[in-house]
Structure 1
Amino acid sequence: MSQPQEPHRPFFPFGNPFRMLSPKGSQLSPRLHSLLNAFEEALAARLRKLNPKDKDDVLSLTWMKLAMESLCETHTDIKILITELELPVTDWDEKWIDVYLDISVKLLDMCIAFSSELSRLNQGHLFLQCALHNLESNTSEKLLRARSSLESWRQHIGSKNPRLENCKSILGSLVDSLSLPKVKNSAKGKVLMRAMFGVKVQTVFVCSVFDAAFSGKSKNLLDLDVSNTILWARAYSDMQNIVNGEIRDIFSRGKFTVLKQLDEVDTVVNNLYPLIQDGTGPIEVEAFRSSFSDLGMRAEKLYQGLDFLAKEVDGFFKIILSGRDALLCNLRVCDTVADPFLENNGEQVVR
């Protein structure tokens, strides 16, 4: 069934945050310009790689794995940039720390939801294995069991995962956080904020695609309008238009599932199911044999792909967790020297 498309959300609801790198205020040294350009050029190249060579690749497990790998690389790059900026935690504005900690915990929650869904989908492999095992025999009892296993697989795959329900609201809050905190008199801080902006844009895009694919709701896709004043804007816009456009087209076809390999298995199951009669055996032997072989091959491909993707999501989770732990550890070390969380009134700031 065709899903109504939501209007594009405004990207800069509070003005253009890139004005923070204007001539007013702290100037960027050649070194800082070089660091920022290197980061943004790498991000642009990464976004271009997410442009599918074939539109049929969109929402394939291979493309989703590539998207998660790309996201992991970008988050690793921002950690490297922070080190190269030589900007100690003691110089971080509290707003930056608040934003980072808030976003990181939301991303951890989303990773847990995605991992839960991948695990749930993987559990369906057992039903297909049972069906394939029973289909090796043409006895009435075995065929009935195979039919039951195929029906159980469809019911399992078609069920909803309650862990995904909060992903849309989390994504909404991440979009709201895209307006950057103001940076005063800190050239390094301005570079950090602009780089983090790019990280957040790619993160929102990838996570919204995963949420739409897993939830089966095209309205969960997000379209972000990036200012063309930034180096990677064109690469992002081109990629977003192609990927989101194709995903919406897939949804409009009313498929059982929008995940490519999962849909391929479902197609074979639908072809095989009517060939299995209630206790009388397959009607068309050749068609049965072909579907049986095809199901085994596609099922194996599906569940290998799910395993690989689950490892990438787990890797992303670990990157976010390690970055968060490192920041909290540094803050605790700084706290032994001088408490950076004390307001003028002496009250402790709780995060």
Structure 2
Amino acid sequence: MQGDNSASYAGIGGIGSKIWPLTGPEIISRDKLKTLRTRSNGPGLIRLAVHLTALALGVLAVYFSAGTPWLLIPAMLAYGIVIVLLFAPLHECSHGTAFHSRWINHIVGFAVAAFTFRPFLYFKYRHAAHHTFTQHEDHDPDIVPFPTSLRDYFGQIIGLSFWPKLVGTLWRGTTGRFTEEEREFLPKSVWKQVMLEIRLLALLYVAITAVSIYFASTIALVYWLLPRVMGEPVLRAIRMAEHTGAEESPNLLANTRTTLANPLLRMLYWNMPFHAEHHLASSVPFHALGRLHDEVSPHLQCVSKSYFHVHREIIREVLRNGRAGATPAGQGA
């Protein structure tokens, strides 16, 4: 398949495909949806300012903790969590809903994507496939399989598969050697644009590395790379909670989980814990997801009190499956 997905895709931000007709959005009235879809620059700029302030506080925490390991490590971890949560504005900008102005969505999206080692345009199309084929075993590129063991669970949390995929994306984008899966969600018409963006990112990262080595500077390492890596398990845990353990069906009311996270996390994650709501109406900006939740919450089939509760249930299920699959004593192979 050479990027010609017109027969299968509903388009960026689409709600289904011919082979995976999603259901659930019909519960939202057209009038209500029209009201909620209103976009504005104000909420996005305010939320971005809050996130940038949190990043600045993280930098200060790391700076003043230097030389004191028992303070420095927690400071870098907290700062790293704020960095990885930049995934939220990247995600929102990819939908064009973070801001009313298209150019602000593109600039902010590209900037936060670059800071977290992701190519913005590539992500935009990959994420469109995730929305079109949510929880489809073969066609959802972001499906997270239910862990088969505790080792598998913790491997997913620390990113054993995530980091090779991220590095592989940059390498393949630089060389233009896209996989068959990537050719399914990347139209051939955008290959050159995607490759150009990734090559520019690669040049940027090489330049930063070269300058750091030349000046024997650890600034990029301490204030960017290490915190970015340290914070990733938190984002892996959040992303796992969005769909893992939910139905692998086209029913958006059951295949996506909403998590009633605390206000601070909702703030820094741009209301993405309201994830089922987002999948039901991806054209609704982040700042209106709380109102959408009030509208659809009686219909949602997968809602959790917190991320802690989600992962407690996942671990319990993993252990339960492990016990069920254990070979009885005396019957070993």
TM range (shorter): under 0.3
Give me the TM-score of the superposition, normalised by structure 1: 0.25
Q: Higher relative contact order by CA 8 Å / sep ≥ 6: 1 or 2?
A: 1
Give me the TM-score of the superposition, normalised by structure 2: 0.26
Which of these two proteins has the greater Rg computed from alpha carbons? 1
Q: Which has the larger share of helix? A: 1
